[in-house]
Amino acid sequence: MPDLNKSVVKLSKRAYYLMGKRRYNEAEKVFQEAYALNAENAYILVGLGDLYRKLKNFPKAVKYYDMVLDIDPVNVFALRGLGNAYRGMKKPEKSLEYWDRYLQCNRYDTHVMVRMADSYKKMGKYKEAMALYDKAIQIGGNDKYAYLGMGTLRYKLGDDDAALACFEKYQVFDEDNVAVLTMLGNIFQRRKQFDKAAVYFRKTIELDPDNVFALYGLGNCERGLKHFEEAIALWCRVLEFEPENQNLHTRVGDAYLALDRLEDARSFYEKSLKLGFDPYAYLGLSNICLRHAEFDQAARYCNIIIEKLPDNARATRQLSRIEAQRSAGGNGAAGADAEARV
């Protein structure tokens, strides 16, 4: 028996070493060899669970972790492993069950707290998620994943001030998280602090040149700063990835209208309308006609909007302006783009 135990210990140490080196196929053979010698050794069973979890064979991982709990119901390695395995199987309720049991044994593991909070967040249980993020921050002091999770949740709930505070603390650990940079850009864009928002969007694009969210957001910032040429260039890059983005076709049209490049504006409004009804595109076309003193055509575009949206105030105001300029005999240039969405 001593020789057998010595062989089991030697094999298990070798297997864990191989798993640590990511030599998983070799590790599996050695673990199974040790398991054949002692099928009730918790150290070996946990190792097999960990190995199959790393290989994303989650059902097999669960099998071995369950075998550990049959021997030792409060084995923290198996409880934590089961939570992670069920997370991989996208079964958050089961993950939470085992992680909760784990925390009863190991109350200060902030990593597991954050994983539980992440699961609650995905389930829409925001109150429970927030409580766990907050607890992890209090215990861990500076747990970057807790700040990330709490910040993302606060952002989702529209609490920009709290999200900003969390993201600023998270960035002490990681300044290059593209998702965080994009959310920071969006927060400052919503506040119309376009220069500040642009910094975060540009940093995102440096890290991920084809990030459509950052390209779109930076385009909005350039538009807000009245840099219409720059906005157009950025939005057109987005359209390379999303050629059927109707809203963006109209936005490009509005930017060209602001630059008085009427035929370019018309082209993008027409592209938008090929994709479906859009009152903003019709208003843009109406403004182009108004600049050319084409009053009947300008009014026709407004009436198309009103047929679909009888209470559309912008179309009604545009009709009033058309009639006023018709009566004045103007050429439509003055004030025609007061309703342009730029």
Instruction: State the burial class of residue 300 (Cβ atoms within 10 Å of its Cβ: 0-12, 13-18, 19+).
Output: middle
pLDDT per position as a tens digit, 181-191: 999 999 999 99
Distance of CA 285 to the CA centre of its chain: 35
Position 275 scores a pLDDT of: 97
- Identify whether 187 is part of a domain: no
State how far the Cα of 144 lies from the Cα of 157, in Å rounded to an integer: 20
Please state the domain count of the chain.
Answer: 2
Query: Crossing angle of helices 246-258/212-224, nearest 10°?
Result: 30
State how far the Cα of 117 lies from the Cα of 125, in Å rounded to an integer: 9
State how far the Cα of 309 lies from the Cα of 146, in Å rounded to an integer: 46
Cβ pair 197, 185 in contact under 8 A: yes
CA-derived radius of gyration, the chain? 30
- Identify whether 75 is part of a domain: yes
CA dihedral 230, 235, 239, 240 (to 10 degrees): 40
Q: Hey, CA dihedral for 180, 185, 189, 192, is it positive or negative?
A: positive
Are residues 98 and 1 located together in one domain of the fold?
yes
Position 334 scores a pLDDT of: 42
Eight-class DSSP state of 95 = H
Maximal CA-CA distance, the chain: 108
Are residues 67 and 120 located together in one domain of the fold?
no
Which of these, 69, 59, 115, 126, lies nearest to 92 by C-alpha position? 115
Q: Hey, CA dihedral for 233, 237, 240, 246, is it positive or negative?
A: negative
Asked whether the predicted pLDDT for residue 339 surpasses 50, the reply is no
Q: Hey, CA dihedral for 297, 299, 302, 303, is it positive or negative?
A: negative
State how far the Cα of 298 lies from the Cα of 322, in Å rounded to an integer: 7
Are residues 115 and 31 located together in one domain of the fold?
no
| Amino acid making up residue 294 | E
Distance of CA 65 to the CA centre of its chain: 33
Mean pLDDT on 298-303: 97
- Identify whether 251 is part of a domain: no
State how far the Cα of 226 lies from the Cα of 229, in Å rounded to an integer: 9
Position 337 scores a pLDDT of: 45
Distance of CA 171 to the CA centre of its chain: 17
Instruction: State the burial class of residue 243 (Cβ atoms within 10 Å of its Cβ: 0-12, 13-18, 19+).
Output: exposed
Are residues 52 and 115 located together in one domain of the fold?
no
Are residues 136 and 156 located together in one domain of the fold?
yes
State how far the Cα of 205 lies from the Cα of 185, in Å rounded to an integer: 12
- Identify whether 204 is part of a domain: no
Asked whether the predicted pLDDT for residue 162 surpasses 80, the reply is yes
pLDDT per position as a tens digit, 89-146: 999 999 999 999 999 999 999 999 999 999 999 999 999 999 999 999 998 767 899 9
Own/partner pairs, 1-4, CB within 8 angstroms, 24+ separation? 4/37, 4/38
Token pair for residue 13? 């140490």
Are residues 149 and 167 located together in one domain of the fold?
yes
Check residues 336 and 126 and name the one with the higher pLDDT: 126
pLDDT per position as a tens digit, 46-104: 999 999 999 999 999 999 999 999 999 999 999 999 999 999 999 999 999 999 999 99
Cβ pair 132, 115 in contact under 8 A: no
Helix or strand holding residue 36 (H, E): helix 24-37
pLDDT per position as a tens digit, 274-283: 999 999 999 9
Q: Which domain range does residue 38 map to? A: 1-107
Asked whether the predicted pLDDT for residue 333 surpasses 70, the reply is no
Are residues 77 and 123 located together in one domain of the fold?
no
Find the CATH number of the domain harbouring 135: 1.25.40.10
Of the pLDDT bands very low, low, confident and very high (cuts 50, 70, 90), residue 335 is: very low
Position 203 scores a pLDDT of: 98
Are residues 124 and 103 located together in one domain of the fold?
no
Are residues 20 and 100 located together in one domain of the fold?
yes
321 phi and psi angles, rounded to 5 deg: -65, -40
Of the pLDDT bands very low, low, confident and very high (cuts 50, 70, 90), residue 295 is: very high
Question: Which of 6-15, 53-62, 206-215, 311-320 has the weakest average pLDDT?
Answer: 6-15
Are residues 30 and 102 located together in one domain of the fold?
yes
- Identify whether 55 is part of a domain: yes
- Identify whether 299 is part of a domain: no
Asked whether the predicted pLDDT for residue 240 surpasses 80, the reply is yes
State how far the Cα of 163 lies from the Cα of 183, in Å rounded to an integer: 9
**Average pLDDT of the residues of the chain:** 93
Are residues 25 and 121 located together in one domain of the fold?
no
Q: Of 90, 107, 124, which marks where a domain is finished?
A: 107
Position 329 scores a pLDDT of: 76
Position 338 scores a pLDDT of: 40
Q: Of 174, 203, 230, which marks where a domain is finished?
A: 174
- Identify whether 89 is part of a domain: yes
Q: Of 131, 150, 174, which marks where a domain is finished?
A: 174
- Identify whether 25 is part of a domain: yes
Check residues 249 and 1 and name the one with the higher pLDDT: 249
Are residues 1 and 75 located together in one domain of the fold?
yes
Token pair for residue 200? 């975060």
